[in-house]
Chain A
C-alpha cells in the first residue's frame, strides 16, 4: 500500500511539474497552451540526444535551456502578437504547434519508443518494507517538491514573483503600475517551457520516449489544471497529488476503468464547483 502511494506520488509529481508550467503561462497569457505537451516531449527527446554527449545531467541542463529558448520564442512570435485576438485563436495556434512538434519528433527520432536508463547514482533500489523500490522514483518526488517549494518561495518573496502574481490577477492594472508585463511574460513563458523540458527529461527513465507521449500527459495536465482551478498554483499542486493517487490506485485496483477515473473526477469537481478547487488565483 505504501509502495502504491509512493508510486502515485511519483506520477503526481511528474504531472505537477508539467501542469505548473501550464498554470504559469495561463496566468500571464490567459491561454491554455496545447503546445505544452509538445514541449514536454521535445524536452525528453532533446535531453536524450544531448545525454549521448553530455551525460544524463548535462542532457537535463541542455534540455531545460533549449526549451526555455523555445518558450521565449513562442511568447515573442505567437502570444505577444495575438494577445488582443480571441484566446481560442491562440489556443488553436498552440494546437497547431503541437501537431508540428509531434511530426517533427517523428521525423527526427522515428516512431519507435526509446527507453532511457536511470542515471548514476540513482539507478539502484532501496528496501522499503519487503519491497525493493527504485531510488530514481524517490528522486522524482524530490524534484517535484523542490520545484513546488522553489516556485512558492519565488512567487511569495521575490519582486518578480509579486509581479507575476499581480499580472495573473490583472495584467492591465499591473502594467499601469509600471511593470513591464511583456518582458515578464517572456520570462514566465520561458520558465513554463523550461519546466516542461525538465519534466520530459525526468520522465524519460520512468516512461519510454515516444512521439505520442506529449498528448497523453497533456490531457492529464489539463485535468489537473482545470480541477485545481485555472491559474491556481496551489490548486494545481493539490489536484496533481490527488490525480496521481487516483491514477495509480486505479491501475492497481480497478484496471478496467483506471484511465477514466481522473476524467470522472474532473467532471465531478466541475459540477460541484465550476471554477475548480481554488476559487481565486494563487
Chain B
C-alpha cells in the first residue's frame, strides 16, 4: 500500500521478548474462558457470551482476510448464515446423521468459498467489497423468496436427533455447556491462524498483499494463495454459523443480510486487524456494549456507529493494537 511498507517488513513475524507478556495475558484469558461456566455468572450473561463467541469466530474470519489479503469483505454473512442454513436444511430434508451434517456444513461452505474466490478475486479493493456484498445478498434474497424450502422470512427450525457426538443435543443448546464448545473452537481457530501467519504460507500471503506483482516476479504463483486465504476465512465464518445454528436451533434470513456482514467488518476493525485475536476481542466488546446500551436505550445503532467512528479515528490499530502497545510498554518498564 504505502511506499514505506515495501521496504520494511509489514508485520513482525518472529516472537520478540516483549511478546511474552502478551502471550501470558493471552493464556490467562483462555484459561479464564474455560472456567467461566463455574464462576456463577447469570444465565443471561453466559448466553450473551456464547453468542459473542460465535460472532467472534465470524469476525475472526473477516479480520483474517483483511490481515492476510487486505480485502474487506461485505459478504461474510453469506458464509456464516449459509453454513447455518445448510445445517438446518440438511437436518430437515435429509436423513443424514447429525455428526455428518455439523461437520459437512462448514466444509461445503469452505469449498464454495474456494470456488467463489476465483470469481471474487478478479476484482480488488472496493469492487471486491461490493461483489462479495452482492453474492451474499443474492443468497439472502434466495432464502427470503424460496418459501417452499426455506420458509422465507420466518426462518426454519433445526431438526436433529437427540444425540450428537455421543452427547445430548441439549448440551449444545444450553449456554453453560455450549460456551465451552464455542470457546474451544474460537481458541483453536485463533491458535491455528497465529501459527499459519507465522508460517511460510502466511508470509507469502502477506507478500502478495503488499505487492502482488513483485511476488509473481520472484517466482510465486499468486492466485492460489489468495484463494486459499479467502476459503479459510470463509471456513472460519462458516464454523461460526454452524455453531450458531446448533445453539439457537433456528435460522432466519437475517443471518445472511449485508448488515450482518457490515457488522462483522466493523467488529473486526474496532478490534483491530493487525493481530489475529483483535477481531475476537472486538466481538466481545461489541456484543457487550450493544447489550449494555440496549438496556438503557433503543438507539444502540447510533452508539455502534459513533463507537466505530471514534475507534477508527482515534485508534487506527484498533483496540487490540492499543492493548498490545500498552502491554508491551508495561513489560518493558518492568524489565528495565
Bound together, the chains give a CA A274 to CA B259 distance in angstroms of 25
A257 CB contacts on chain B under 8 angstroms: 141, 145
Complex interface residues of chain A between 229 and 282 (CB less than 8 A to chain B) = 230, 256-257, 259-260, 263-264, 266-267, 270-271, 274-276
Given contacts A98-B305, A222-B133, A270-B131, is CB(A91)–CB(B126) below 8 Å?
yes
**Cross-chain contact B127 with A230 (CB below 8 angstroms):** yes
Of A103, A219, A259, A275, the contact of B302 (CB 8 Å cutoff):
A103
Bound together, the chains give a CA A257 to CA B141 distance in angstroms of 8
A271 CB contacts on chain B under 8 angstroms: 119, 122
Stretch at the interface among A59-67, A81-89, A130-138, A193-201: A81-89
Q: Mark B118-131, 1 if CB is under 8 A from A, else 0.
A: 01001101110111
Bound together, the chains give a CA A106 to CA B305 distance in angstroms of 14
Given contacts A257-B145, A267-B134, is CB(A97)–CB(B299) below 8 Å?
no
**Cross-chain contact B123 with A274 (CB below 8 angstroms):** yes
Interface contacts (Cβ under 8 Å), in number, total: 108
**Cross-chain contact B131 with A267 (CB below 8 angstroms):** yes
**Given A106-B301, A266-B130, A274-B122, 20 new contacts (CB under 8 A):** A32-B126, A32-B129, A95-B305, A96-B309, A99-B304, A100-B305, A219-B133, A222-B130, A226-B131, A256-B145, A260-B142, A263-B137, A263-B141, A266-B131, A266-B134, A267-B119, A267-B134, A270-B123, A270-B131, A271-B122
Closest A residue to B259 using CB positions: A215
Bound together, the chains give a CA A223 to CA B119 distance in angstroms of 16
B129 CB contacts on chain A under 8 angstroms: 32, 88, 91
Bound together, the chains give a CA A92 to CA B313 distance in angstroms of 10
Closest B residue to A94 using CB positions: B309
Bound together, the chains give a CA A156 to CA B137 distance in angstroms of 37
Count of chain A residues with Cβ under 8 Å from any Cβ of B?
40
**Cross-chain contact B127 with A96 (CB below 8 angstroms):** no
Of A97, A264, A266, A267, the contact of B305 (CB 8 Å cutoff):
A97
Stretch at the interface among B102-110, B182-190, B261-269: B261-269
Complex interface residues of chain B between 270 and 306 (CB less than 8 A to chain A) = 299, 301-302, 304-306
Of A86, A92, A100, A256, the contact of B265 (CB 8 Å cutoff):
A92
Bound together, the chains give a CA A264 to CA B138 distance in angstroms of 8
**Cross-chain contact B302 with A100 (CB below 8 angstroms):** yes
Any chain B CB within 8 A of the CB of A128? Answer: no
Residues of A that sit less than 8 Å from B by CB: 32, 82, 85-89, 91-93, 95-100, 102-104, 106-107, 215, 219, 222-223, 226, 230, 256-257, 259-260, 263-264, 266-267, 270-271, 274-276
Of A93, A226, A256, the contact of B312 (CB 8 Å cutoff):
A93
A266 CB contacts on chain B under 8 angstroms: 130-131, 134
26 contacts between A and B (CB under 8 A): A86-B1, A87-B126, A89-B269, A92-B308, A93-B309, A93-B313, A96-B312, A100-B305, A100-B306, A100-B309, A103-B302, A104-B302, A107-B299, A107-B302, A222-B130, A226-B127, A230-B127, A257-B141, A259-B145, A263-B141, A267-B119, A267-B135, A270-B127, A274-B122, A274-B123, A276-B127
**Cross-chain contact B269 with A92 (CB below 8 angstroms):** yes
Any chain A CB within 8 A of the CB of B97? Answer: no
A264 CB contacts on chain B under 8 angstroms: 138
B127 CB contacts on chain A under 8 angstroms: 226, 230, 270, 274-276
A103 CB contacts on chain B under 8 angstroms: 299, 301-302, 305
Closest A residue to B144 using CB positions: A259
A106 CB contacts on chain B under 8 angstroms: 299, 301
Of B125, B133, B138, the contact of A87 (CB 8 Å cutoff):
B125
Bound together, the chains give a CA A219 to CA B133 distance in angstroms of 9
B133 CB contacts on chain A under 8 angstroms: 219, 222
Count of chain B residues with Cβ under 8 Å from any Cβ of A?
37
- The B interface, classified by DSSP as helix, strand, loop or mixed, is helix
Q: How far is the CB of B94 from chain A (nearest CB, A)?
A: 24
Of A85, A87, A107, A259, the contact of B316 (CB 8 Å cutoff):
A85
**Cross-chain contact B312 with A89 (CB below 8 angstroms):** yes
Given contacts A263-B137, A266-B131, A271-B122, is CB(A99)–CB(B301) below 8 Å?
yes
B242 CB contacts on chain A under 8 angstroms: none
Closest B residue to A99 using CB positions: B305
Q: How far is the CB of A201 from chain B (nearest CB, A)?
A: 24
Q: How far is the CB of A124 from chain B (nearest CB, A)?
A: 36
Bound together, the chains give a CA A272 to CA B200 distance in angstroms of 34
Closest B residue to A229 using CB positions: B127
Closest B residue to A88 using CB positions: B72
Any chain A CB within 8 A of the CB of B80? Answer: no
Bound together, the chains give a CA A22 to CA B141 distance in angstroms of 25
Bound together, the chains give a CA A82 to CA B133 distance in angstroms of 24
Bound together, the chains give a CA A95 to CA B266 distance in angstroms of 9
Any chain A CB within 8 A of the CB of B179? Answer: no
Any chain A CB within 8 A of the CB of B258? Answer: yes
Q: Mark B241-261, 1 if CB is under 8 A from A, else 0.
A: 000000000000000001100
**Cross-chain contact B72 with A97 (CB below 8 angstroms):** no
Closest B residue to A38 using CB positions: B305
